Amino acid sequence: MSKLILRRESDGGEVSLEDSLVLKAFTAGGVTNVQYLEEVEGYRKIVKVSDVLANVGGMSDNLTVTTDLNGETIWVNKNRVSGVSENNSLATLRFDGSGSSPDSIKLNTTAAAWNNAVIAKEGGFSYVVDSFTAAPNVVVLDAAEGDVTAKFTSGVFFTVFGEGDANDTIFSVVSSAFTSTTNITVTETPIVNASAAGYAWVK
């Protein structure tokens, strides 16, 4: 657990917040706002600070950057998100509000992209999936990823998540090959939706 040491916008006084209690940081009226949970009763509060938004977000390993429905930058505490839903390809994050009424944020990105951002924040590796084929059971990674076959050696397990896979499925690698794309042959038959898009996450 770490602390965010900030300066209050009104008088320049120091504000110290446990990063585990912070819900989100955003800009409103040209001022950086930090929403957090009160430590004792768990009600949401907001403090306006003079610190630059990017600096606030960079103070904690818990805060993950994304954009809200209006396209504004927002930093969200990934550990305070209790659920992610999606409507018309746009994600909504729900917070555990403790003593407060439920709260949510609509994002200008997909649920898969949010999950990908969290994985990256936690130091994991994820790769863009272009397509699936049922025979011979191949997951095709985007050509822009380059040759990542060393990450997908025989016997490695990886998770595919996002719009392209009907279920967040764990696959076992049979073999992989790099041509103009990276083709990962797996033991299972991929179950796909009409849109083959998503991410492959290697632990």
Tens-place pLDDT, residues 138-149: 888 989 889 999
Q: φ and ψ at 100, to 5 degrees?
A: -90, 165
The reported pLDDT for the residue numbered 169 is: 78
The reported pLDDT for the residue numbered 43 is: 84
Dist CA 46 CA 67 (whole Å)? 19
The reported pLDDT for the residue numbered 95 is: 80
The reported pLDDT for the residue numbered 120 is: 85
Q: Could you give all domains of the chain from N- to C-terminal order, each with its CATH number?
A: 3-121 (2.40.50), 125-202 (2.40.30)
Q: Reduced to 3 states, what is the DSSP secondary structure of residue 149?
A: helix
Neighbouring CB atoms inside 10 A of 84's CB total 16
pTM here? 0.76
Which amino acid is located at 27 in the chain?
T
The reported pLDDT for the residue numbered 35 is: 94
Q: Reduced to 3 states, what is the DSSP secondary structure of residue 59?
A: coil
Contact 26, 72 (CB under 8 A): yes
Q: How many residues does the chain have?
A: 203
- Smallest Cα–Cα separation from 184: which of 141, 134, 147, 120? 141
Dist CA 122 CA 64 (whole Å)? 10
> Which residues of the chain register pLDDT less than 70?
1, 96-102, 163-168, 191-197
